[in-house]
Chain A
Amino acid sequence: METSSRAASRPLRYGSGLRTLSISTVVAMTVALALVFFYVPLEAEQGFLQKIFYVHVPLATVALCGFVLGGLLAIQYLRTRDPRWDMRSYVVIHMSLIFALGTLITGSIWAKGSWGHWWVWSEPTLVSFLIIFLLYATYQPLRFAIEDPERQARYASVFAITAGAFVPLNYVAVNESTAYVHPRVFSSASNLPASMSFTLLVSIVAIALLFATLCKYELTAKHTRSQVRALRRRLAGEELDAPRRARSAAPAVQHATAVSMRAAGRPGL
C-alpha cells in the first residue's frame, strides 16, 4: 500500500509526448502506405489483392499484442493496487478490441476477394480470432456489471490476465492446425522477400504507433475529464474522494486525481 500511495502521489501527465507520438504516427503511416502502393512488388499468386496483407496482419498483430499487454498491466494493478494501472489496462484492451474489429473486417474482405466468401467457419484462424474478439467483447459488460470500483478493477484485472494468457496459447494452437489453407501468402516470415518483409515491418511499426497514440489520447482525455470533475466537486464544496454517482464500465480515477491534486499542493483540498 505504501508503494501504491507513493506512486499515486506523483502528478499525472498523460499528455506529455503526445505531439511527438502523433507526428511519428503520421510519418510512419505515410511511409508505410507509400511503400505498400509504390515500392513493394505485386505478389505472384494473389496479385494486387495481397496488398490487404499489409493492413490486415499488422492490425491483427497489434491487437493480439495489445490484449497480452492489457493482461500485463492488470498484473501490475494487482501488485500495486494503483488505479492508474487499471486505467491503462482498460484503455489498452478497449483499443485492442477496436483493432481486432478492424482485423475481422479486413480479413473478411480479403477472404471474399480470395475465396469468394465473406466468412468460412471451417477455417481455424478466422474462428479462433472471432472467439478472442467475442471473449474480450465481454470485458466491458463485466466491468459495468460491478458497481464497487475496487471490486470492478480487481475482477477486470483477473479477467484481463486470464484472457491475456489465452491469446498466445490460441495462436500456437491455430498455427499447429493445418486443416484448411488460410490465405497466407507465405508459410512463414522467413520466406518473405526482403522488400515485402521490410514493408510489413514498417506497416507493423506504423500500426503500433497508431495504437500507442490512440491509447495516449484516450488516457489523456479520461484523465482531463476526471480532473474537470474533481475541480467541479471542489468548487461545489464536495469531498474529492466521495464515491461516484453513476455506474460506469470505465475505471474510477477520481481517487488518483484527488491524490495528484493534493500532491500538487492545491489549497482547500
Chain B
Amino acid sequence: MIATALGEVPALPLHTAGKYVAGAYIVLFALVLIYVAIMAIRLSRLERDLGELLSMSASSPEGEQAPEPTADMAEPAQDSHAESTPA
C-alpha cells in the first residue's frame, strides 16, 4: 500500500536544484542534531554529578546515623536521592 502511494508521488528533480534544497534542509537537521548531541553530553554530566551526590549523601553523618537497610528497603541509594531532590 505504501509502495503504491509512493509510486504515485512524482519524482523529485534532484538533478538540478536538488543539491541546494537538500543542503538547506540538512542545515536544519544538523542544527537540531548538534543540539541533541550537546544535550546528551549535558545529561551524562548530570548523571555523573547525581552519582557523586548520592555517594556524598551516603557518606554524610545523616547517612551514617540512618538505620541499617532491611530486606524490604530495596535500593537505599535511590531512596536517599529521592529525599534530597527538591520538588
Interface residues of A (CB under 8 A from B): 11, 33, 37-38, 46-49, 51-52, 55-56, 59, 98, 101-102, 105-106, 109-110, 112-113, 210, 214, 217, 221, 224-225, 227-228, 230-232, 234-236, 257, 260-261, 264, 266
Contacts and interface: CB of A to CB of B under 8 A. Distances in A.
A221 B39 contact: yes
Contacts of A217: 39
Interface string B21-58: 10111011001100100010011001001101100110
B9 interface: yes
A49 B28 contact: no
A106 B28 CA distance: 8
B27 A106 contact: yes
5 contacts: A52-B21, A109-B27, A217-B39, A225-B49, A231-B85
Given A55-B25, A102-B27, A48 B13 contact: yes
A199 to B, nearest CB: 14
Interface-central residue, B12, B24, B50, B84, by most chain A CB under 10 Å: B24
Nearest to B86: A261
Interface residues of B, number: 31
Contacts of A59: 28
Given A102-B28, A224-B46, A232-B53, A264 B86 contact: yes
B1 to A, nearest CB: 16
B53 A228 contact: yes
A21 to B, nearest CB: 15
B17 interface: yes
Given A231-B84, A235-B53, A264-B87, A106 B13 contact: no
A47 B16 contact: yes
A48 B18 contact: yes
Given A225-B42, A228-B50, A109 B57 contact: no
A187 B53 CA distance: 59
Given A38-B9, A214-B35, A227-B86, A105 B27 contact: yes
A48 B12 CA distance: 8
Contacts of B16: 47-49
B60 interface: yes
Contacts of A264: 86-87
Interface string B49-78: 110110011001000000000000000000
Contacts of B12: 37, 48
Contacts of B84: 231, 234-235
A236 B56 CA distance: 8
B28 A112 contact: no
Contact of B86 (A102, A232, A260): A260
